[in-house]
Structure 1
């Protein structure tokens, strides 16, 4: 690109060198926490959060922001699916206990 020429369409230029940048949240804590809910989607979240931290260390603000959004997406999916899975498991367990108690109660009262 020549000086004085406008950037090509779709090109995003970061802030000028030396300008203060807002911190990028890597969502590493959320990604690690989501391992306990649904690990198959938590692993890509952890990998994206690691890419975010590496990009921040390298000074790549745009790459860090993209990796942060990717980590947030995967951690959110892992949290939602994991919460639904455990919620369903709890409902099924409660129904199982109620049916079991009802079966034991009816069996003990018949002679």
Structure 2
């Protein structure tokens, strides 16, 4: 009876095994947020979101992380732009209402004809 031993570690002629880093998030939700809140940024956000998996499969791990981060950043920027526009719109309505109320008082001052 002969015992066969397996050799662990480096074996000549064997292809080296590389471990892939984990797939980064595609951040499609942030791209949808960009579509809802400020649609001009949505085109770029969806483009970057759709590039994450193909870049990762080709071995461009840094590029896939950049595309993921860019999609997330564009979604957050669109949310901020929408919030700023909403605040400015509320301020505009308050100013218009204040001017209208001031002018109503001036219109209702009827001159006396006595």
Shared fold per TM-score greater than 0.5: yes
TM-score category of the 2 structures, normalised to the smaller one: 0.5 to 0.7
RMSD: 2.3
- Between structure 1 and structure 2, the one with the greater Rg is 2
Query: What stretches of structure 2 of length at least 5 have no aligned partner?
Result: 1-16
Q: How many residues align?
A: 93
Deviation track 1:40-77 (CA, whole Å, cap 9, x = no partner) reads 12221121111124435x36433321210111222222
Alpha-carbon distance in structure 2 between the residues aligned to 1:35 and 1:28: 11
Query: What stretches of structure 1 of length at least 5 have no aligned partner?
Result: 1-15
Following superposition of structure 1 onto structure 2, how do residues 25-104 of structure 1 map, counting pairs within 5 Å? 25-56=25-56, 58=57, 60=59, 61-104=61-104
Cα displacement (A) at 1:37: 2.2
TM-score norm. by structure 2 comes to 0.64
TM-score norm. by structure 1 comes to 0.66
Which ranges of 4 or more aligned residues in structure 1 deviate by more than 4 Å?
Answer: none
